[in-house]
Amino acid sequence: MNKPVMAAIFMIGCSALVAATTLMAKALGRGVVDDVSLHPLQVSAGRFLFAWLLLVPLVLWRRPGFRDVAWPTHIGRSVSGWLGVSCLFAAAGLMPLADATAISFLSPVVTMLLAIPFLGERIGPWRWGAVCVALGGAWVLIRPGADAFQVAALVALAAAFFMGLEAVLIKKLTGLDSAIRILFINNSIGAAIALAAASFVWVPPTSLQWMVLAGIGAFMVTAQGLFIMAMRQGEASFVIPFFYTVLIFAGLYDFTVFGIVPVTTSFIGATLIIISALVLAWREGRNKATHASPQQRD
């Protein structure tokens, strides 16, 4: 099997697992599992804790050094990542899974905007146009005036912001640390923060809920691994579009478990956001291909 096909398979698998983690978080938050609801902070704590436990054996085997660690950047990345995951899990419990996921896809737009002050990038008309399209899609999904969705959509917007900030900090870290160090330090700090926050809302999980929490952590680590393998097998401009199949899986899972059918406005809003994200990915690939200066982005 050739590399592009393998890259596509890895990324689609990643998307299926990412959507599954959000579905499990929604099920825990709505009390579907053993009729006991868990707070989103407790669910995110399980995600980080079990991801960390799965990474420990790998770290003991690989034995990466931990000297000269950029701790301020790692801490900032971990805090923003924890906030992003917690907000996404909270939004998923309050609105259709596909809608919450689609709004979280605004994170590339946030990353682009934050790259201006943090990374010194200059943004051209193509990217500003993509921002306008993405914000139009978000406006459709937020449904101003629809009280049932408005607050939840704002929580999903917060998730997009924190995920975008996390991506900016990851960009800075990739030039400083190895992938295994970044993953382990992130999950270590994230687990400590998440467990401390969850202690204020802690409800003893049942045995089945512990299994679901462990599944969320395992799925997230596996998804991260599949994402890395996909990026190694194919060009980012080819691979990234397959990640947006997460919306298909989210809609399918939501319909299967909760019987929620996406409405027309959901399709319109999600389409606009995905188009903007694809334009941003295309311009990023084009800039790399032409060896553009990191300060000049068109």
Give residue-wise pLDDT tens across range 159-193. Answer: 989 988 887 888 788 777 777 888 899 999 999 99
- Residue 159 counted as domain residue: yes
- Residue 296 counted as domain residue: no
Q: Mean pLDDT across the stretch 134-146? A: 69
Q: What is the pLDDT of residues 78-120, one digit of tens each?
A: 999 999 999 999 998 888 888 888 888 787 778 777 777 766 7
What total of structural domains would you count in the chain? 1
- Residue 249 counted as domain residue: yes
Q: Mean pLDDT across the stretch 245-253? A: 87
For position 68, what pLDDT does the model report? 82
Identify any residues that bridge with 296 across adjacent strands, giving them in sequence order.
122
- Residue 239 counted as domain residue: yes
For position 57, what pLDDT does the model report? 93
CA atoms within 13 A on the CB side of 224: 18
Alpha-carbon distance 40 to 45, whole Å?
8
Which stretches of the chain are DSSP H helices?
A: 3-29, 40-62, 71-92, 97-104, 107-119, 125-142, 147-174, 179-198, 207-233, 236-243, 246-258, 264-289
- In single-letter form, the type of residue at position 94 comes to L
- Residue 298 counted as domain residue: no
Lowest-pLDDT range of 179-183, 231-235, 260-264:
231-235
Asked if residues 189 and 55 have their Cβ atoms less than 8 Å apart, the reply is: no
pTM above 0.95, yes or no: no
Quickly state the pLDDT bin for 286 (edges 50, 70, 90): low
Alpha-carbon distance 43 to 88, whole Å?
11
Cα distances (angstroms) measured from residue 295 to each of 42, 122, 208, 287: 41, 6, 51, 11
- Residue 57 counted as domain residue: yes
What is the rounded average pLDDT for all residues in the chain? Answer: 83
Q: What percent of the chain has pLDDT over 90?
A: 35
Domain that holds residue 65: 3-289
For position 148, what pLDDT does the model report? 45
For position 283, what pLDDT does the model report? 67
Tokens read off for 164: 């975008």
- Residue 264 counted as domain residue: yes
Across 125-134, 189-198, 249-258, the highest mean pLDDT is recorded for 189-198
Tokens read off for 6: 């393998």
More confident site: 289 or 101: 101
- Residue 295 counted as domain residue: no
